[in-house]
Amino acid sequence: MLTYTLKRLLMAIPTLLIVITISFFLMRVAPGGPFDGERQLPPEIEANLKAAYHLDEPLPQQYLRYMGNLLQGDFGPSFKYKDFSVTELIAQGFPVSLEIGGLAILLALLIGLPLGIIAALRRNSMIDYTVMGTALAGIAVPNFVIAPILALVFGVLLAWLPAGGWNGGALPNLVLPVIALSIQQIAYIARMMRASMIEVLGSHYIRTARAKGLSERQVIWRHAIRPALLPVTSYLGPAIAGIITGSVVIEQIFGIPGIGRYFVQAALNRDYTLVMGTVVFYGALIVLMNLLVDLLYSALDPQIRYDD
């Protein structure tokens, strides 16, 4: 297991290097710059700013400088958030995004998995049609539509919950963002769990278990649940990374100071270092989550072993 983990981590290095390289040059060739604003700066001041941040150097030299700093764990200073380094901004935003994203994934699993199992056990029934129809609607309607509707109905019209703001992570401020962020995930998980469960229930070992006289409850819990979770587990790796660091729309709509909101503002402001920092962080998180999913496979399926 340890050898396999080390191999996977080593294989991730070229992938991250490619992602960093592409992102670096795409940011630099995009129109505009970090010091382009509504008020035109005097040429000498703009030249001094570029020299201070080494933006007057050739692109290859900037790239090598950035990679050298990155190897030392230095993401550099933010061009727009004065007196803050990129590392400090990520450290501030990530716990917020982690809390919202973690609760959203937990809610999606608690609701999506049972719905998928029930739909599979009641296949082609009204319950199945209702669950899958609702899940399809949840997938079709994007969260940038769902979130404003939730804020309008429950935050403005009914005034049950705050329509926005963070308030230190108070529970009332968490409810609407978490629900808005989890709806699509509930739909995806329910549909995948249904399809996987139907396939598993048609397997030979399930028929054998029934032939031995096991009750339907024992067949489901002892023999069907774990293999049926494998496709959902595969989906959860990138999904968790994406929902934690990529809840851009939700954080913007509800005014939440998470890492996704920082990424949007950095992209609009051409804050090169902050964009690169979030890209590197997101890429590393995806690699880590995919590795954890692969390791979890061996716990769910005894046939899968990662021998040293």
Q: Work out the average pLDDT over 87-95.
A: 85
Q: Tell me, what's the pLDDT at 107?
A: 92
More confidently predicted of 157 and 35: 157
Q: Tell me, what's the pLDDT at 306?
A: 58
pLDDT tens string 144-158: 788 888 888 888 888
Residue 272 near residue 263, CB atoms below 8 Å: no
E strand or H helix at 179, and its extent? helix 171-201
**pLDDT confidence bin for 245, thresholds 50/70/90:** low
pLDDT tens string 97-129: 888 888 988 999 999 999 999 998 888 889 888
Q: Tell me, what's the pLDDT at 46?
A: 66
Q: Work out the average pLDDT over 240-258.
A: 77
161 three-state secondary structure: coil
Q: Which domains does the chain have, with CATH numbers?
A: 100-254 (1.10.3720.10)
Residue 205 near residue 63, CB atoms below 8 Å: no
More confidently predicted of 21 and 304: 21
pLDDT tens string 20-29: 888 888 877 7
Closest CA to 59 of 272, 262, 266: 272
pLDDT at 38 over 60: no
pLDDT tens string 162-209: 888 888 878 888 899 999 888 888 999 999 999 988 988 888 878 888
More confidently predicted of 166 and 245: 166
Q: Tell me, what's the pLDDT at 115?
A: 92
For residues 214 and 217, give the distance between their C-alpha atoms in angstroms, rounded to a whole number: 8
Q: Torsions phi, psi of 77, nearest 5?
A: -85, 155
**pLDDT confidence bin for 11, thresholds 50/70/90:** confident
pLDDT tens string 40-77: 666 666 677 677 767 777 888 888 888 888 888 888 88
Residues 6+ apart with CB under 8 A from 148: 253
